[in-house]
Amino acid sequence: MINDYKYRSYKNIASMFEENGETLKSISFYEKAYNESFGKKDVELLIKLALLYDEVDELDKSENMYNQVIILNPEEARAYYGLGTVKDNMGDLAEAINLYKKAIEIDNDYEKAYFFMANAYDELGEKEVAIENYLKAIEIQPMDFWAHVNLASIYEELNNNEEALEEIETALIINGNNYLALFNAGVINKKLGNIPKAKEYYQKSIESESFYGYSYLNLALLYKMEKEYEEAIEILSNGIKYNPEECSLYYNRACILCNVGRLEEAAEDMRKGIKLYPKFIEYVKRDKELRTIKKFFFAND
């Protein structure tokens, strides 16, 4: 009874620290519970420790806990799934996929196993298999925001742009304020020739997250394409205000400044861009848009 009391007390204290976001203290008390006689047979405790070890990047310990669960219960789908995520994080995608498949064999409706298996196949370049698994994840959980976003990205990569648009619009119904989904919607609409819509989505992405430089860049390039140079410069300037370390914003503003004859400003932008990304000096040699400022960088030009 005393050991049982200590065991439950350790778990309660650990849970309290976990709820307060004090992960390391939480692990310490879950470990104390694990070291009691009941601990090594408590599947829920072992899974909890495995998850927390993964959270603090102690992957070997996490793997060990999941393996202990499998020894106790070879039909515990969560253990195979969790072990799959550990192998995923270790970069062993092939083994991760095998473990996700094992979890699905036990529980055919394991949505997260399909999701992460799709992601692993995507990373391995097996796009069609990734699509199949994202579709299965969505069949089980239609409101999985990231499944729709990731599926849209694969469709866009394969130039299946109508399908990509359908998926990203579904994602935005689920969460209309995610800057990355809004950005992706901009990319897809641009590819489909829906320029006003693309502008709208890039602007919404900026409003949702001002510290994502690519939204400013892509929006500015749409205005540049229409020769609305001053508008493009203003957008890039706002982007630089919030993303002063984003080299591509300086580079592209320099190009547009060259187009409107503001060469001193363009050269200064290129200097800043080169400081952030030294290889830009090679771009100055080759980029026709920058030919008017080559003299600022190369004595013989």
CATH number at residue 289: 1.25.40.10
Q: Is residue 191 part of a domain?
A: no
> How many residues would you count in the chain?
301
Q: Is residue 245 part of a domain?
A: yes
Helix 43-55 with 59-72: angle, nearest 10 deg: 160
Q: Is residue 283 part of a domain?
A: yes
Q: Is residue 154 part of a domain?
A: no
- Count structural domains, the chain: 1
Instruction: Answer left, alpha or beta for residue 160, where phi above 0 means left and psi between -120 and 50 means alpha.
Output: beta
Q: Is residue 251 part of a domain?
A: yes
Domain boundaries, position 280: 210-301
Q: Is residue 202 part of a domain?
A: no
pLDDT at 4: 81
Give one DSSP letter per residue of 240-289, joined into a string.
Answer: HHH-TT-HHHHHHHHHHHHHTT-HHHHHHHHHHHHHH-TTHHHHHHH-GG
Q: Is residue 239 part of a domain?
A: yes
pLDDT tens per residue across span 248-273: 999 999 999 999 999 999 999 999 99
pLDDT at 298: 85
Q: Is residue 290 part of a domain?
A: yes
- Please report the sign of the dihedral spanned by the C-alpha atoms of residue 72, residue 76, residue 82, residue 86: positive
Residues in the chain with pLDDT values less than 50: 1-2
Mean pLDDT of the chain: 96
CA distance 100 to 116: 8
Whether the Cβ atoms of residue 219 and residue 199 lie closer than 8 Å to each other: yes
pLDDT at 301: 55
pLDDT at 3: 64
CA distance 135 to 113: 12
CA distance 196 to 182: 14
